[in-house]
Chains A and B, each alone.
Chain A
Amino acid sequence: MSDAATALFTHLPILLIVWPLGWGVLLLLGAARSSDHPPGSDHPETSLRRERWLSLSGAAITLLGASLLSWDAAHGAIRVYTLGDWPAPFGIALVSDRLSALFLLLTALVASSALVFAIGSWDHRGRAFHPLFHIQWAGLNGAFLTGDIFNLFVFFEVLLIASYALLTHGLGAARLRVAFGYVVVNLTASALFLLGLALLYGAYGSLNLADLAHRTAALEPQPLFLARVAAALLLVVFALKAAAAPLYLWLPAAYSAASPPVAALFAVMTKVGIYAIIRVHWAVWGGEWGVLGSAAFGLLLPTAIVTGLLGVAGALAARTLSRQIAFLTVASVGTSLIGVALATPKGIAAALFYLVQSTVTVALLFLVVALIAAQRGEIGDAIQPAPALRDPVALGLVMLLAAASAIGIPPLPGFLGKLYLLEASLDHPGQSAVWLTLIAVGALTLIALARAGVTIFWHTHPKRITVWPSGDSRVLMQPVVALVVVVAAMTLWAEPLYRFTYAAAVQAADQTAYARVVLEQAHGYAPWTRPYDGTLPQTEPREAP
C-alpha cells in the first residue's frame, strides 16, 4: 500500500467525524447567508440548489469513507487513532474495529437515502436542515468510533443536540409539543449518564474503555461495588436511548411526529443505545458472566421480551401508519436486545444481523409511508379507507416487501435474522420464552401490517381527490429503490453478512487483544491512581497486559 493510502487509512477514524462536522458548519454558513436575501444576492432557488449539491457531495464522501473503513475493518485489524498523539489511556483514542465499521456503514447507507429523500421534499420546509443533518451524522460516527466512555457521552450529546432541532424541522404545534418531552427525557438521561461516569471514574481512575476492561479484574471490593452501580446506571441510560421497555414511551410520539426523512435517520439513533450496551456492557464488562455481572444485565432478557411484545401491541393499536412503524421500531429493538441478552458471540452476531436489516427496513417503511400519505390527501397516513392511490402498484410492492421483511417471511433478511436468533438461543435457559416471543411478535406484526395494508390499498373510495403536491416524485423514489436494493442484497448475501457480524462479535469479545492494541503505547507507564492519595502516582513500569 502506498504512503498516501496508509496515511488515509490511519486518519480515516478522525476524518469520519471531522468531515461531516466541518461540512455541517460550512453548510450552516451558507444557510445563514441565504436566509436573509440582501439585494444582489442569489435567488433563493439558486442558493437552495447549491446547498443541496454541497450537502449531497459531503454525504457521498462520508459514505465513501465509511465504506473504505468497513472494507479495511473486514480484514480484522483494530485501528487506533490517538488524538493529539497522547497515548491511551491519557488521551482520547478512537478505535475502529468490525463492530464500529458495521454501524458506520449502516448509518451511512440509511443517512444517504434519507438525505436524498429530504432533497426531494422536505429540506426547504424549515431552516438549516442540511447542516443539522451532517452534524447529527458526525455525532453518530463519533459515538461508534470512540474508545473513551466520556467521549461517548460527548458524542451522544452532539447527535442529540442535532436531533432536538431536526425533530422540530417543519415546525407545527404537534412537533413542538413532542419535541419538548423528547428533549426533557434525553436531558434527564444525560444527567444519569454523567452520574454513572463519575462513579466509574471514582472506581477506576480511568475512562478509557480498554483500560476499564483491563482493570476490572483487579478492582478492590469497594470500588467494584461503585463500578457495579455505575454499570446499572449506564444500562438504564442506554436502554432509554435504545427505547427498551419501560423507557420507550418517548419514541412513538417523537418518531411519528418527525418529518419522514428525519424519522428514517432517527431509525439509526435507537441503535446507538444497543451499540453502547454491546460495546460497554458486553465487550468491556463481559456481560452477565463478567466480573461486573450485575443483576442489571440479567434483567435484560425479560426487558427485551417485554419490549418486543409491547412494541407490537402498540403497532396493533396504532391509528396512523407512521405511528405503527414507530411502534415496530420498538418491537425491532426488543428483538435485537434478545440477542444481546443471550450474551454469547452467536447471540450478539444474530442481534447485529437483525439490527442491521431491521434498521434498513424501518427506514424504508418511514419513507414509503410518506409517499403513500402524500397521495391520500387530507386523510394522510391514517389507517382508514380513502380514495385510491395514484400509483398503487409501485408503492404497494415496496410496502409489501418491507412489511414482509419486518414480519419475517422467508427468504427476506427479517426471517433470516429471526432464524439466527432462534438458533443462538438453543442452549439458553430462556429458550422457550425467546422462541415464543419471536413467533408471537412475528405473527402480531403480520396482523398489524396486513390490517393496515388491506385498508390502505384495497378499501378505496371510487371518487378521485385532488392530490397534494408531494415534491419531486422521481427524486423521492430513488432512495426508496436504493433501500429496496439494500434489502435484496442482504437477502442474497446473508451468509457473508452473518459471517461479518459473527466475526465482529468475536472480535469485540476479545478484551485482551483490544486492550493490547489500544494501550500499546502506554502500557508499562499507566499507573494506578486508585485509591487516590493526593500525591503524584508512581510511574514504575507494571507488567504488560
Chain B
Amino acid sequence: MTLEGLVASAIGIVTTVAVYLLLQPRAFATALGLTLLSYAVNLFIFVAGGLWIDAPPVLDAGRRLSTDPLPQALILTAIVIGFATTAYLLALAVRRFAVTGDERTHLTPKHTEDAR
C-alpha cells in the first residue's frame, strides 16, 4: 500500500468516526466528534501540498527537495481556531448542563418556543 493510500484511509476512518459521534444526541459525544473532525481536516490540509519523505518544509536553493511549506502554516491557523472554538463549546456545554440539567442536544418545539 502506498503512503498516499495509508494517509487517505486514515483520514477517511477518522472522519467516519467523527461523523458517527457528531450524530449522537449527547453533548459530550458531539464535542468529541468535532475534535476528531478537526484532526481529520488538519491531516487533509497537510497532504494538500503532496506527501514528501525526508524533505524539510523550508525552501532552500542548495537542497534538492523540500515540502510545500504553506499547508503547515494553514494547519497552524486551523489548529489555533479549532482549539479555541472547541474550548468555548465545552464551556458552553458545561454551563448548559448546569442550567438545564440536560445533556441531550436535541431541541423540542417547546424549547424553541420558550425562547422568550
Q: List the interface of chain A (C-beta within 8 A of B).
A: 150, 154, 157, 160-161, 164-165, 168, 171-181, 183-184, 187-188, 190-191, 194-195, 197-199, 201-202, 205, 252-253, 256-257, 319-320, 322-323, 373, 380-382, 529, 532, 534-536
Partner of B41, one of A174, A183, A195: A195
Query: In this complex, what residue of B is CB-closest to A168?
Result: B92
| B59 contacts chain A at the CB level, 8 A cutoff | yes
Per-residue CB contact flags for chain B residues 32-47 toward chain A (1 = under 8 Å, else 0) read 0010011011101101
For A373, list chain B residues within 8 Å (CB). 116
Partner of A176, one of B38, B50, B92: B92
Give me 29 A-to-B residue pairs in the complex whose CB atoms sit less than 8 angstroms apart, sorted by A's number: A168-B92, A173-B99, A174-B112, A174-B115, A174-B116, A175-B115, A176-B99, A178-B115, A180-B93, A180-B96, A183-B92, A187-B34, A198-B48, A198-B71, A198-B74, A201-B48, A201-B74, A256-B112, A256-B115, A257-B112, A257-B115, A320-B113, A322-B115, A322-B116, A534-B67, A535-B65, A535-B66, A536-B59, A536-B61
For A202, list chain B residues within 8 Å (CB). 48-50
If over half of A's interface residues share one DSSP class (helix, strand or loop), that class is named, otherwise mixed; here it is helix
Q: List the interface of chain B (C-beta within 8 A of A).
A: 22, 27, 30, 34, 37-38, 40-42, 44-45, 47-50, 52, 55, 59, 61, 64-68, 70-71, 74, 77-78, 81-82, 84-86, 88-89, 92-93, 95-96, 99-100, 105, 107, 111-116
For A381, list chain B residues within 8 Å (CB). 116
Q: Say yes or no: B84 contacts A161, CB within 8 Å.
A: yes
Assess A188 versus B34: contact at CB under 8 Å? Given A197-B45, A529-B68, A532-B50. yes
Assess A174 versus B74: contact at CB under 8 Å? Given A161-B88, A184-B89, A534-B67. no
CB distance from B64 to the nearest CB of A (A): 7
Interface centre among A177, A197, A529 (most CB of B within 10 A): A177
CB distance from B113 to the nearest CB of A (A): 6
CB distance from A205 to the nearest CB of B (A): 8
CB distance from B6 to the nearest CB of A (A): 18
CB distance from A349 to the nearest CB of B (A): 35
Known: A161-B88, A179-B96, A201-B74. 19 other contacts (CB 8 A): A154-B81, A164-B88, A172-B99, A177-B96, A177-B100, A177-B111, A183-B92, A190-B81, A194-B78, A198-B71, A202-B50, A252-B112, A257-B112, A257-B115, A320-B113, A323-B112, A323-B113, A534-B52, A535-B65
